[in-house]
Amino acid sequence: MQKGPARNATLPFPTVASIRSLDRVAVSRADADLVAQHYAAPTSRVLLMADLKVSLMPGLARDSAALRWVGGGELVGLGFKAEETIFLGLDEAGHARFVEIVDPAHTGAGNSELSQFEPLADLRTLAVEAALAPDELSIVGAARSLAVWHRSHRCCGRCGAHTRVRDAGWRRTCWACGQNYFPRSDPAVIMLISDRERCLLGRHSGFREGFYSVLAGFVEPGEDIEDAVRRETFEEAGIKVGRVDYLGSQPWPFPHSLMIGCWGEALSSPITCDETELEDVRWFSREEVRQMIAGEHREGIDIPGKLSIARALIDHFAADKSA
Ligand SMILES: [Zn+2]
């Protein structure tokens, strides 16, 4: 039997949304008094997120952005109330970090109130421009995932009544029927399919011209990770997959996915492209992939940037002959 990549191989990608820089102190979230003490402490730091955009330090150049952390007291008396206050955790110095979620459509916060917090920037821009330190970028990713989740869980899916924020932003409970809702991550598989010599890359019609990436898709209810890899690959490319190995994962806050990175062994070669999903899917040799990484592919093919697990999987194939 041929050897596959090592299980749990460490992939060298940054963690866009896994807030490793903070201690989440999850057990403290349900203690409302303790959370209130943390918020009121002079050392607490609060980040404003308005309409999914975060407040940045003013006056910095585009390539050296930093989050604008303010004291909890500075947000009081601004003429609007944040819709959700989320306790993110404690930083290395033991200081509490919060994010205040403002949705102008609901809170009535106008441009004049929010202008005090400009510039405001969205996560995609910050990620693409690589302007924030990785720790801060990961905090924005987590905050965005939570903000999107809160926005779509204001009412109970069971009885239709309003839900209320609990556990410092990590739970919502229906006031009428008591149903609890917890922030969710949607599992998705993202896979490097190879026959040891070549790997499979495809492009959606929405991609910019010449851009290819590895295949990906959501895990369906009742399905395990391996079967999701096999099903998605067969649906999108008509390739049968045998062995599947886990390589690493990455939270992907668009809106709140968990990307599960896998390697899959191709058992067949002819491609049948599912044109409802993909514009093209092709085999590329390791040499071609190395040219893409170097920006020297003869067709000008471009691949995902370094912040993505997709790129980590492609780099893994380019570097490791066992993949
Ligand atoms: Zn309910």
How far is the centre of ligand 1, averaged over its atoms, from the C-alpha of 44 (Å)? 34
How far is the centre of ligand 1, averaged over its atoms, from the C-alpha of 172 (Å)? 11
> What mean pLDDT is reported for the chain?
87
Sheet strands side by side (includes 120-122): 84-90, 96-102, 45-50, 53-55, 120-122
Tokens 């609901």 belong to: 106
Q: Residue 286, Cα to own-chain centre: how many angstroms?
A: 28
pLDDT tens for each residue of 93-107: 999 999 999 877 766
Residue 270 contacts residue 285 (beta carbons within 8 Å): no
Confidence of residue 34 (pLDDT cuts 50, 70, 90): very high
pLDDT of residue 15: 47
How far is the centre of ligand 1, averaged over its atoms, from the C-alpha of 266 (Å)? 47
> Lowest mean pLDDT: which of 14-23, 90-99, 193-202, 278-287?
14-23
How far is the centre of ligand 1, averaged over its atoms, from the C-alpha of 179 (Å)? 5
How far is the centre of ligand 1, averaged over its atoms, from the C-alpha of 171 (Å)? 14
pLDDT of residue 18: 59
How far is the centre of ligand 1, averaged over its atoms, from the C-alpha of 188 (Å)? 29
Is pLDDT at 8 greater than 60 in this prediction?
no
How far is the centre of ligand 1, averaged over its atoms, from the C-alpha of 83 (Å)? 20
How far is the centre of ligand 1, averaged over its atoms, from the C-alpha of 106 (Å)? 21
What integer is the mean pLDDT of 236-253?
93
pLDDT of residue 19: 64
Q: Residue 105, Cα to own-chain centre: how many angstroms?
A: 24
Domains of the chain plus CATH, in order, are: 31-152 (3.90.79), 186-319 (3.90.79.10)
> Lowest mean pLDDT: which of 8-17, 68-77, 202-211, 280-289?
8-17
pLDDT tens for each residue of 273-290: 988 889 999 999 999 999
Confidence of residue 155 (pLDDT cuts 50, 70, 90): very high
HSE toward the beta carbon, residue 28, CA cutoff 13 A: 16
Q: Which residue has the higher pLDDT, 61 or 236?
A: 236
How far is the centre of ligand 1, averaged over its atoms, from the C-alpha of 160 (Å)? 6
The amino acid occupying position 110 is G
Q: Which residue has the higher pLDDT, 139 or 225?
A: 225
**Percent of the chain surpassing pLDDT 90:** 61
What does pTM read for this prediction? 0.86
Tokens 């309409």 belong to: 51
Is pLDDT at 7 greater than 50 in this prediction?
no
